[in-house]
Chain A
Amino acid sequence: MVISEDTRAAIEREIGKYPQRRGALLPALHLVQQEHGFVSPDSMRELAGIFELLPVEVMEVVHFYNMFHDRPRGRHQVHVCTNLPCSLRGARGLMRQLESHLGIHAGETTADGRISLGHEECLGACAYAPMLRIGETYHENLDAEQAKRLLDGLE
C-alpha cells in the first residue's frame, strides 16, 4: 500500500460529504498529492480500488487537470503567471530572468531537485502583477530582484 492509513481515513471522510463516492475523487487526488508530492501509478491503482473505478478512469482525471502530476517534481513549485494582464506588466521578462538565474527553462527542475519552474495561466492576481506562486502561496507586485531573492531563500 502506498497511500497511508491517515490519508485513506481522510479520503473516507471526504467521500461522506458527497451523494456519490466518486464526488470525492478530486479531493482524494489532492490528499494523495499532498502526501507524496505526485500521484504515482500505484496510487492511481489504489484510488481506483477505493472509488470502485478502473485505474484508467483515475488516470484520465489526473491528466486532465493542470494541478495533478503523475511524476515527482522539485521540492518547490514556482509558477509565474504569464497571462495577458501579467504579461502587460512584465511577466515574460521576469520569467526570462528567473530562467537564467536558475539555469533552467520553464517546465524544468533544477539539477539538485530544489525548484521546478513553470508558467501558469491567470491566477486572479491581475492588479498585483507581475506575480508568482510558490506552492500554495502567492507573491505579488514583484520585480526581478525580489523574485530572485525569494527563490534563493528556498531550501
Chain B
Amino acid sequence: MGLTVPYVTSYLSEHFADDAYATLDGYRARGGYEAAQQALRTSPEDLIELVKESGLQGRGGAGFSTGLKWSFMPTDGGKPKYLVCNADESEPGSFKDRILLERAPHKVLEGILIGAWATGSEKTFIYVRGEYAFPARQLQRAVDEAYAAGILGAKVLGSDFAHDVVIMRGAGAYICGEETGLLESLEGRKGQPRKKPPFPAQYGAFGMPSTVNNVETFCHVPHIVANGSEWFRGFGTEKSPGTTIFGVSGHVVRPGLYELPLGTPLEEIVFEHAQGVPNGRTVKGVIPGGMSMPILPASQLDVPMANEHLRERKTMLGTGGVMVMDETTCMVRAGCVITYFFRDESCGQCTQCREGTGWLHKIMERIERGAGTPDDLDILLDVAGKMEGQTICAFADAAAWPVQGLMRHFREDFEEHVRQRKCPFPESFEL
C-alpha cells in the first residue's frame, strides 16, 4: 500500500510512495547503501568535517549542529561508544519520523551506519516510541535484512568495521524524547532527564560516551555523503541548509507531509501545499513547529520557516509540525488542550514544572468555563515566566512557551472570556 496522503518530494521523500523502498532490494536498486560504502572509505575526521560543512542541524527540535555534536565524541578509544537514534517522536503535530521509519527504514539505517563510523560507535540503540508498533516492525525487518546481507554485524559492508543495532520500544512517555530522559529509559528506569553536564558525549547510555540524533537527521546524512556539502547547501537558507519534512495538520484542505527547503514561507506551506482552510474560512493562527512552539497569528505567515527568521517572531521551527487553526477557533480551548498535555506528561522531577504545568491547566480551564478573573491572565504569564529556564530540562520551557504565545497574540480571546463570563466562540472545535 502506497502512502495515501499528499506529499511533496525532495531527496528524503522521493520514494515514499514506493513500497519496495522499504525493502533491502528495493532500497539498493535505488542507490541505497552506496553512500555508506563511500563513507567507510573516508576517515571519520573527514566525515565529521563534511557534516559540519554541510550545516546540517538536528531535526528533532533543538536544531543543534550535527557535525559539531559528532565531534564531541572522545577519540581516545578507552571506552565503548554508542549511538542512539531518537525515534520517540511524540511532539503533538509531528509525524514525519513515523513515515520515514515506515517508508524508508533502510535510509535511517544507512544514516546510522555513517554516523557510527564517524563517531567510532560499536552499537546503536534505536528508541522507538511504544505506540509506533508498525514503524518498529518495519524497522526490525530492515535490521534483520541488513544483518543477513552483511550490512550490519561483524564486517559492515565487507569492511573491518563492526556495528550492531538494537531496537528498543518505549512505553508511552513524552519526556523520553528529551535525550537524557531517553537514556534513562534505555537503561530501564523512569524517563527523568539528567542534569547536564556531563553531556551524553562524556556520560551517555550506560555511562558510556554517546551521541543522540533524531530519525530525520540521520536520513539527511547519506545524501550529504553522496552529493557533498555544497549540494546540501543548495537547499534552504545560508544558516539553515537542507530540506525538512513539514507535517501539516488541523484546519487545512490537504493535511499531509511536505518536504520543502528550510526557509520556505509558512504561507506557501499553508496555502499552496496544504491548499488553505476549508469551508471558505480564514486562518486565525498557526503553530509552526509542534505544540511546544509559540503560535503565530495570521498576519505573520510570511515568515520563512528557518530558525533565524522564526526566532525574530519569538517562535521556532521545532519539529516542523504545522498546526493550522481557522477563524472559529477559541484560543483558550487550544490553551486547555495544550496545558492538559504538559500537565499529564511532566515527569514530576522539578517543582516548577510539576506544579506549574498543573496551575497553567487549572487557570486555563477556569477561564474557558467563564470563571476566570482579570488577574488570571497575569497569573498565567507569571507562572509561565517562573517555569521557563528554571528546570533540569527544556520540558518546562516547552510548556510555558505556547501559553506565552497565545497570550502574546490572542490576549483578546482571554479577556473576552473573562468579560462575558463564558466562551465567546460557540463554533469553535469541541473540548
Contact = CB atoms under 8 A, between A and B. Distances in A.
Interface of A: 17-20, 22-27, 29-30, 51, 60-61, 64-68, 82-85, 87-90, 92-93, 96, 120-129, 133, 136-138
13 contacts: A17-B166, A19-B208, A61-B188, A66-B172, A84-B338, A87-B429, A88-B251, A92-B430, A124-B89, A126-B92, A126-B250, A127-B247, A127-B256
A84 B185 contact: no
Contact of A64 (B89, B173, B341): B173
Interface string B72-93: 0000000010000000011111
Contacts of A20: 187-188, 206
A102 to B, nearest CB: 19
A126 B94 contact: yes
A89 B250 contact: yes
A26 B171 contact: yes
B171 A22 contact: no
B311 interface: no
Nearest to B256: A127
Interface string B372-386: 000000000000000
Contact of A126 (B132, B255, B325, B345): B255
B294 interface: no
A126 B131 CA distance: 14
Nearest to A136: B133
A84 B134 contact: no
Contacts of A127: 5, 95, 247-249, 255-257
Contacts of B133: 136-137
B131 A85 contact: no
Sorting the interface of chain B by its residue count into under 10, 10 to 19, 20 to 34 or 35 or more gives 35 or more
Contact of A66 (B5, B89, B173, B185): B173
Given A84-B334, A84-B338, 20 more contacts: A19-B80, A20-B188, A23-B168, A26-B170, A30-B171, A64-B347, A65-B130, A65-B170, A65-B171, A67-B131, A84-B92, A84-B323, A84-B341, A88-B323, A89-B250, A121-B174, A124-B129, A124-B132, A137-B133, A137-B134
Nearest to A62: B171
A89 B277 CA distance: 12
Interface of B: 5, 80, 89-95, 97-98, 129-134, 166, 168-174, 185-191, 206, 208, 247-251, 255-257, 287, 291, 321, 323, 325, 329, 334, 337-338, 341, 344-345, 347, 429-431
| 5 shortest interchain CB distances as A-B pairs | A25-B188, A66-B172, A126-B249, A65-B171, A136-B133
A32 B41 CA distance: 44
Contacts of B431: 87, 92
B134 A136 contact: yes
A121 B92 contact: yes
A68 B185 CA distance: 14
Nearest to B133: A136
B53 to A, nearest CB: 32
A22 B247 CA distance: 36
B206 A83 contact: no
B392 to A, nearest CB: 16
Nearest to A51: B188
Contacts of A27: 168-169
B323 to A, nearest CB: 6
Contacts of A68: 171-172
A18 B323 CA distance: 39
Nearest to A122: B92
A123 to B, nearest CB: 5
B189 A124 contact: no
A22 B188 contact: yes
A25 B169 CA distance: 11
Given A85-B250, A88-B325, A124 B95 contact: yes
A102 B257 CA distance: 34
A7 B97 CA distance: 31
